[in-house]
Amino acid sequence: MEDAFVFTVLTANATVRVATPLILCAMAGLFSERAGIIDIGLEGKMLGAAFISASVAAVTGSVWLALGAGIALAICLALLHGFACITHNGNHVVSGVAINIMVSGLTVVLGIAWFQRGGQTPSVGPDARFMPITLPFADVLRDVPLLGTLYSGFLSGHNLLVYIAFSAVFATWWVVYRTRFGLRLRAVGENPQAVDTAGISVAWLRYRAVLIGGLLTGIAGTYLAIAQNAGFVQNMSAGQGYIALAAMIFGKWRPVPALGACLMFGLLDAVAIRLQGVVVPGIGEIPVQLIQALPYILTVVLLAGFIGKAVAPKAIGVPYVKEA
Amino acid sequence: MPAASLPRWIDTGVIPVLNIALALIVSGLIIAAIGEDPFAAMAVMVKGALGYQEGIGYTLYYATNFTFAGLAVAIAFHAGLFNIGGEGQAYIGGLGVGLVMLALDSALPMVLLLPLGLLASAIFGAAWAAVPAYLQACRGSHIVITTIMFNFIAAALMVYLMVNVLIQPGQMSPQSREFDVSGHLPFVHEALAWIGVSFARSPLNVSIVWAAVCCLGLGAYIWRTRWGYELRTVGHNERAAVYAGVNPRRVIVITMCISGGLAGFVGMNEVMGVHHRLLLDFTAGYGFTGIAVSLMGRNHPIGVVLASLLFGVLYQGGAELAFEVPGITRELVVTIQGLVILFSGALAYMTAPWVARIYYAVKPRPEPAVSAA
């Protein structure tokens, strides 16, 4: 019994570690897409932020400068996306794809030019990383059965960015559903004409949405580079931006269900490694690749409308051209 | 759109060239920023891509892949669809060729294997595109998202098949056995040797002939058949197409199948033409390059060929550049590709108002016709 409980706590911790960047990116995508801007570029923004934060951490040794640089770069890329989609009415998907491809190349080109390590950044020590935080009394309560283990083993001992990611979900929920800005944000994604008629700038609202997206993907990239790992390696985001996009769609563009989807996808990833070679009675051995592909398969099934209907914001991807 | 009021030669000639120039200028700035000389780099690239026979062979081999991938994206664009799944369709198309060759290469001669391989790559690629197409047409699922998902599913499927099923027994790396010689597409240097012309060895194979056929066929299909007319009608205005008696669902599925089949030919070029075995990651991002190629070529077969040649030069020249200059890697080409998509795609009309201003400063604006609304 105790073993099973400890195993559960370990798996839960692994899930949280994997899910953190997904959660941040899913919330970023949510702000953007609720405002009507398709955000394929989550992957690129996260990867760019990971590279810059790892570089700054390696050079300066400061986690805060690294976090700031990661966020700044992701915001620049978000502004580029906004410039193309909002100002120039460009195709949202094309712009996102451009950012992803450009960043995947540029991070390696600059990495080699700056550090001469084949595209990696030098690995950084504990001082230049976000390290696990022990919550108050965690050591004292460790021996208390169940609740103590839960507190000291699961709630305590993550790094700051993990706590930020989970807070971001509730902040997102509050902003989107409980503030005037959130109401307008949702409106501009559904019916920009109405928002414009009310005398509110469609472009400025959408720019603010993509900026928030930049902020969150910047944190996600920093997490990848100097919290989960100790440096940047080529293409380290490895499709997580797309999984986050899938999770956001899976959560039907709502913060709390999107969090649930991120945790589910994180759990799948955490158990995929453990299930390698395990024979399930009656089914046989489950291929690891199947579990890894499951988030994508489930998203397609959901989009096909076989498990509930995922309806995107109505004006998504449509450039708003003011009538002359 | 401001460009609509500009003459055709500016819209299809000056603005695309301007956009590519912008992408190349930014690329040059990046090269300068990492401390290399952009002009010297460009010279190395052009020389490496076009300066000798082997280089030309590689350039054309890359261009073959980009033509298939670019045409795949282009035809989908004409129907208003964004097929971002060329990478997965090429992967599965290659799987189709590989399975046919592994099954039949010892039984049949080249003359029969060639059409079979062609057919298998097209059918497998088309099948992989058909599912997202059906979901878009009949269930309203956004094709961009589903094709992205299918890229990842294809990658997982291929890893599973190569590691567990198709791996050559007694071997560590996940590769199938090599096909018999009857399952190899002839290389161009071999084909030229038959008629007595000597040409340096390169991966360039007879797929390039098929790529040319596809260009002509696709141009005829889009602009010279009623199916092409229906396709363009759906792309312009789906509701109007319905009133004109077109069934958009059918058009979407057929178009995506053609698109997936074209992407599948990338798999044929790689598996049957170059590697002669099934292996992992042979698509190497060519499917994504197809997006850049199509946007750069304005979704027209001739434009796609020109853009493919340019990207062939970039890829081969980029490899040469990475070899010659230690501070530069092949990923520079990926960066340039991203910039081309940005300037030729997302920011395609950024320069139009400036061009229009200059044009009308030189030539006074004509009086609008009375009937113009």
Q: Which pLDDT tens digit goes with each residue over A237-275?
A: 988 999 999 899 889 899 999 999 999 999 988 888 777
**What is the predicted pLDDT for the residue at B249?**
95
Six-digit token string for A183: 């109401």
Contact B77, B256 (CB under 8 A): no
Among chain A residues, CA nearest to B31:
A109
Greatest Cα pair distance, chain B, in angstroms, is 80
Q: A304 to chain B: which residues are within 8 Å by CB?
A: 135, 139, 141
CA–CA min distance A104, chain B (Å): 7
B149 touches chain A (CB under 8 A): yes
Q: B349 to chain A: which residues are within 8 Å by CB?
A: 88-90
A307 touches chain B (CB under 8 A): no
Could you give the 3-state DSSP secondary structure of residue B187? strand
Domain ranges of chain A: 2-123+145-303
Q: Which pLDDT tens digit goes with each residue over A176-204?
A: 999 999 999 999 999 999 999 999 999 99
Greatest Cα pair distance, chain A, in angstroms, is 71
Using CB atoms, pick whichever of A38, A112, A242 lies closest to residue B327: A112
Whole-Å CA distances, A111 to A107, A116, B42, B102: 6, 7, 21, 42
Task: Report how far Cα B325 is from the mean position of its chain's Cα atoms.
Answer: 28
Residue whose pair of structure tokens reads 């979407």 in the numeric block:
B252
CB atoms within 10 A of CB B237: 12
**What is the predicted pLDDT for the residue at B135?**
94
Q: What ipTM is given for this predicted complex?
A: 0.91
Fold of B52-300: ABC transporter involved in vitamin B12 uptake, BtuC (1.10.3470)
Closest-CA residue to A43 (of A63, A24, A57, A18): A24
Distance between CA B126 and CA B161 in Å, rounded? 20
Collect all residues with Cβ–Cβ distance below 8 Å to A169 and sequence separation of at least 6: A23, A27, A255, A256, A258, A259
pLDDT tens, position by position, for chain A (324 residues)?
567 777 888 889 999 999 999 999 999 999 999 999 999 999 999 999 999 999 999 999 999 999 999 999 999 999 999 999 999 999 999 999 999 999 999 999 999 999 988 889 999 999 899 999 888 888 788 778 778 878 887 888 899 999 999 999 999 999 999 999 999 999 999 999 999 999 999 999 999 999 999 999 999 999 999 999 999 999 999 889 999 998 998 898 999 999 999 999 999 888 887 777 677 777 777 888 888 888 899 888 888 877 666 778 888 888 888 765
Q: Which pLDDT tens digit goes with each residue over A101-112?
A: 999 999 999 999
pLDDT class for B123, splitting at 50, 70, 90?
Answer: very high
Average pLDDT on B151-158 reads: 95
Question: Does the distance separating the beta carbons of A101 and B341 come in below 8 Å?
Answer: yes
CA–CA min distance A87, chain B (Å): 9
Q: Which CATH number fits domain A2-123+145-303: 1.10.3470, 1.10.3120, 3.90.1530, 2.60.40?
A: 1.10.3470
B82 touches chain A (CB under 8 A): yes
pLDDT class for B226, splitting at 50, 70, 90?
Answer: very high
Residue ranges of A 152-181 with Cβ closer than 8 A to chain B? none
